[in-house]
Amino acid sequence: MQNDSDQKHTLSDDARDLMALPGELHIDPLEKRWILVAFGLIGVFIAAILYTALIKGVSPPGDMETVDSARLHLSEEFAEDKLGVATLPDGSVRVTLVAARYGFYPREIRIPAGQPVTFRLASADVLHGVHIPMTNMGTMVVPGYVSTVTTTFPKPGEYPMLCNEYCGMGHDHMWSKVTVVSQERWHASTAQATGR
Ligand code: CUA
């Protein structure tokens, strides 16, 4: 059987005080060990959150940027003719998409592999989720907020862009096509498009 001296060996004074409740509460040493493991895991999780938030600069999608979902067609950024893939003057690639029942618009996009691509998404109606299987591209698209994700696709290929938040009867059919092309093909096609 266990006695008090065992407890002194396995627990700090504070933890022992917490557990030494009045009366004769008995906690099995194995149980105590698992309590410590549980607290240790919580510590690891908190450390991981602090590391990604403070050192890696990871924040919730969109940094709480807001947008009027009912007036996307009138907005600067999400009007119909502004949507799609754009190469910015510094060579970075930005994709502007509207998620609406039931698709991501435009329905087909073409982006380069091997370089960061920034997605900016807004919902025109209800909550949607965007996910490109086999990649780390994924976020919720909450009405009223702009979701921003920057990621790099290592491999060229054709990918579906799926909705992964239930948004209505057509949810299962809410997907669009993403074509990821190699750097060579990307540069060849952008040179052609700009006539250089
Ligand atoms: Cu959009 Cu499910």
Residues of the chain with pLDDT under 50: 1-2, 5, 62, 196
Domain ranges of the chain: 4-55, 62-193
Amino acid found at 123:
S
Q: What is the model's pLDDT at position 1?
A: 47
> What CA–CA distance (Å, rounded) separates 168 from 128?
10
> What CA–CA distance (Å, rounded) separates 60 from 148?
9
Ligand 1 lined by 34 (C-beta under 6 Å)? no
Ligand 1 lined by 171 (C-beta under 6 Å)? yes
Please state which CATH number belongs to domain 62-193.
2.60.40.420
Q: What is the model's pLDDT at position 188?
A: 87
Q: What is the model's pLDDT at position 14?
A: 63
